[in-house]
Amino acid sequence: MKVFVILPAAGIGTRMAAAQPKQFLALAGLPILIHSLRAFAAVPRVSSIYVAVRQQEIPRVQAQIAEFLPLEFQSGHSQSESAHRLIHVVSGGDTRQDSVANALAALPAAPEDIVLVHDAVRPLIDAATIDRTIDAVMEHGAAIVGLPAIDTVKQVERTAHGALISSTIPREYVVLAQTPQGFRCDLLRRAFAEAAADGFLGTDEASIVERAGQPVAVVHGSAANLKITQPGDLALAEFYLAQRS
């Protein structure tokens, strides 16, 4: 059984109001995407990694991989051609789901192999959480990293006068979905095919797999595994990174 990783990194990142997509912004001197790649490259059970980026970004990302990743992961390195632990750069799509689908189509994975999908913009994922996710997928077939809700959670209706609360959701029934999200490859492929046939667009892979009728387990996440989305998140990520070292 092999473990493949897909990093969707083809977003434009409009909420960040930055000059370039957030996955390329510098965090402690390195592009955010490189931090995410290094985290998975450091896990021995990971076989290979597929990054989905915008077509025009492919040369830039290949150059960054050559500069910042261990030689064994670089396809240009002569000794690594026969190695399986390689990073592949593929073209993303207009939605996150399209980007993941493109990478999934490129994976040389067997039905029983495991596919982990991770937001490229969550650079602080740690090896222990990745390992626990792989273990949970081996046990349940599908598992995601999730964070229990700390705040009280309200369901709202959007009205012309703003949001109005319609109910309170007991927070013991709520987890906030993070990534990685991992699945047996055959299950993920079937769920993606069903979603495409039905025109369903999900904001994460679990929602696509849930609707295919498969139970998805939850592995405990951490607040440090934040998704860099808006101004201020970079400073918070720098803080968590400094705490680590």
The number of residues that bind ligand C5P (CB under 6 A) is 16
d(CA 1, CA 183): 12
**Which residue type does 47 have?**
S
**DSSP 3-state of 153:** strand
Nearer CB in complex with ligand C5P: 8/182: 8
Nearer to ligand C5P, 170 or 199 (CB): 199
Determine the interface stretch with ligand C5P among 39-47, 92-100, 126-134, 213-221 (rule: CB under 6 A): 92-100
* CB 121 to ligand C5P: min, Å: 4
> Which is nearest to 88 in space by CA: 109, 110, 112, 111?
109
**Coil, strand, or helix at residue 151?**
coil
Q: Does 229 participate in binding ligand C5P (rule CB under 6 A)?
A: yes
Rule CB under 6 A: say whether 225 interacts with ligand C5P.
no
For ligand C5P, the binding residue among 95, 140, 147, 210 (CB under 6 A) is 95
d(CA 244, CA 242): 5
Q: Is 221 in the site for ligand C5P (CB under 6 A)?
A: no
Distance CA 71, CA 78 (A): 9
**Residue number, 67 or 94, with CB nearest to ligand C5P:** 94
Asked if residue 99 binds ligand C5P (CB under 6 A), the reply is yes
Q: How far is the CB of 100 from ligand C5P (least distance, A)?
A: 7
102 binds ligand C5P (CB under 6 A): no
Q: Which stretch binds ligand C5P (CB under 6 A): 117-125, 134-142, 153-161, 208-216?
A: 117-125
SS (H, E, C) 203-242: CCHHHHHHCCCCCCEEEECCCCCCCCCCCCHHHHHHHHHH
Residue that has been written with the tokens 């295919």 in this structure = 212
Note whether 202 binds ligand C5P by CB under 6 A. Answer: no
Chain residues 24-83 in contact with ligand C5P, contact rule CB under 6 A: 52
Stretch in the footprint of ligand C5P (CB under 6 A) among 94-102, 146-154, 164-172, 187-195: 94-102
- The residues binding ligand C5P (CB under 6 A) are 8-11, 23, 52, 92-96, 99, 119-121, 229
